[in-house]
Structure 1
Amino acid sequence: MRKWKRVDTPDGPRFRSALAAHEAALLHSLATSMIGMLDERQSSAPADELEQITGMRTGNSAPPQDETMKRLLPDFYRSQTDHPAGSGTVESLNSALRSLHEPEIIDAKIQAAQQLLETLPRDGGKLELREDDAHAWVAAVNDMRLALGTMLGVKAGGPDALPADHPLAGHLDVYQWLTVLQEYLVLGLMGKPR
């Protein structure tokens, strides 16, 4: 992965870089997996009679059981103190907000991953992104990092390395590569030199 180069054109900024074939294949695999996970979550939502009448989509009211999906679709509200009415109030609020907003959040995440796939050179090589494509890449790569970081147990401050014989050592390298890819693209979007 080369650094991103911002080029201002009459039609708006463009963001240029290049990927090796294995990097493109890795991004394709990760984005496809992300779409599959999100599709599965969305299709598990119970049928809602009100949705059929009003056309308003609703989603799952219960949080995901899988740690990775919990990280991608966290609760909307976390009480900083104990609520006088008990924890049921916070759970009820989260259930209502999740049911109302989760379908749109999942749609946005899927759309970002699909936009990444549409602009990704399948065999590697040079790429040039419009600004909206670059924003989609940042969102999709962030979701990939969150999912992979959850699997690896990454918390603030590390781990920076795993022993070479650790079964997840290669995954940590991918996580760190995604971090650099995202950071350089965000800096490019901000117009800051790298």
Structure 2
Amino acid sequence: MKRWIRDGDVVIGRLDRQEAAVVRGLVSQIQDMLLARAEEAPQDELAELTGIRTGPSEAPDDPILGRLLPDFHRLDDDAPDPDEVNSAAALRSLHEPELLDHKTGAAEIVLQTCSPDGGEIRLSLGEAEAWLASLNDVRLALGTALDVTEDMPDELPPEDPRSPHLGVYHWLTWVQDTLVEAMMR
């Protein structure tokens, strides 16, 4: 991939077939995880009547989903106040459906605009924002799975099973960075 460029209100990039497969595969996996989480939402008759949806009140058990869907209210780890626990659960229940819609919608835009065959990608500024959001989600998920820390070296020994995936993580970081730079021009 070459750097993203901006031409007026259009952001242009180019992915080869393999790069497109990586982006599409990872974005699809994240979208599937998020859609499965959305299916966990409680069925509520009042929500069906009012159109106000609620989501799960408990944080996801999966560390990747936990990173993508963090608590809306941080609790004191040592001795959480029961009222804070209740407010955190209520905030999650109220806001998680909208967050899931945003994240799955951004993923869908990436999948619609990134051809499986690769090639030129022409994005409106809104589509480019969706790409940024989706790439960020993929990087958060991959970083969590690889246990990426600030102290981690740029390269791992070849025998480390995380080594090839860390290269993908760094490449996605570069793709995201150049997209940000293009949008700021």
TM-score range, shorter-chain basis?
over 0.9
The CA deviation string for residues 108-144 of structure 1, in whole angstroms up to 9 with x for no partner, is: 0000000001110211112211111110100000000
One-letter amino acid of the structure 2 residue matched with residue 61 of structure 1: S
The residue aligned with 1:118 is: 112
Report the equivalent of 2:173.
Answer: 179
Instruction: Please report how far the alpha carbon of residue 40 of structure 1 lies from its aligned counterpart in structure 2 after TM superposition.
Output: 0.5
- Alignment of 1:74 with 2:70, yes or no, is yes
Matches within 5 A, 1:79-90: 79=75, 86-90=80-84
Distance in 1 (CA, whole Å) between partners of 2:99 and 2:170 is 25
Look up the equivalent residue of 1:48 and give its one-letter code: D
Match among 126, 129, 133 for residue 127 of structure 2: 133
CA distances 1:149-168 after superposition (whole Å, capped 9, x unpaired): 00001123434221112112
AA at the equivalent of 1:128: R
Query: Partners of 2:77 and 2:54 in 1: how far apart?
Result: 29
| C-alpha distance in 1 between matches for 2:181 and 2:161 | 33
Matched, 1:154 2:148: yes
Q: Deviation per CA, 1:33-66, whole angstroms, max 9, x where unpaired? A: 1111001101012212321332210000000000
Quote the RMSD (CA, aligned, Å): 1.6
| CA distance, structure 2, for counterparts of residue 113 and residue 19 of structure 1 | 17
Aligned-partner Cα distance in 1 for 2:165–2:7? 32
The reply on whether 1:24 has 2:5 as its aligned counterpart is no
Residue equivalent to 2:94: 100
- Say if 2:75 and 2:85, in contact at 8 Å, map to a contact too: no
When the two structures are aligned, how many residues end up with a matched partner? 185
SS in 2 for 1:59: coil
Deviates more, 1:19-28 or 1:48-57: 48-57
Whichever residue aligns with residue 15 of structure 2, its letter is: L
Shift of 1:82: 7.6
| Match of residue 145 from structure 1 | 139
The one-character-per-residue Cα deviations of 1:88-126 (angstroms, maximum 9, x if unpaired) are 222211100110010010010000000001110211112
Runs of 4+ in 1 over 4 A off after TM superposition: 79-83
Q: How far, CA to CA, are the matches of 2:152 and 2:122 in structure 1?
A: 32
TM-score by length of 2: 0.94
Shift of residue 81, structure 1, vs aligned partner = 9.5
Letter in 2 for 1:49: E
Per mean C-alpha deviation after superposition, the further-off stretch among 177-186 and 74-83 is: 74-83
